[in-house]
Amino acid sequence: MSDSNKLTDLSYLRSLTGNANDKMAKYIRMFTTGAPLSLQQIEMYSLNKDWDAVKQTAHALKPQAGYFGAKGTEELLKEIERMAGDKSELERMPAAIQNLKAQLDIIVAELEESLKEFDN
């Protein structure tokens, strides 16, 4: 996949870690294990109509997506957080969560691919 089609951009992570491969790999591993769990929580909270918990979980995941340059995903999380917080447009929530799941699947795959560079 060409860099222009990727959902991630590691520029911010490189500056955050001083381009230290071991630190970048650590943050990537934390995200690739934690983000799917956060998504599961968002899905469960949404099914239970626990909108405050959806809002809190989306809010916590949002800056993590930003660390990896996933601006579109960061915006989607902001939208999920807003809908849950305002308890408005909740009919859009299932589609937004499905979109988030699709994006996170791609982001995790891209980050796992980038780990191969750091582990050499």
By percentage, how much of the chain surpasses pLDDT 70? Answer: 95
Q: Which CATH number is 107's domain given?
A: 1.20.120
Dist. CA 117–CA 67, nearest whole Å? 18
State both tokens at 101. Answer: 């799941």
Q: Is 55 domain-assigned?
A: yes
Q: What is the domain range of residue 91?
A: 7-118
- The pLDDT tens digits for 55-82 are 999 999 999 999 999 999 999 999 999 9
The amino acid occupying position 70 is A
| pTM recorded for the entire structure | 0.92
1 in a structural domain: no
Residue 35 inside a domain? The answer is: yes
Q: How many domains does the chain have?
A: 1
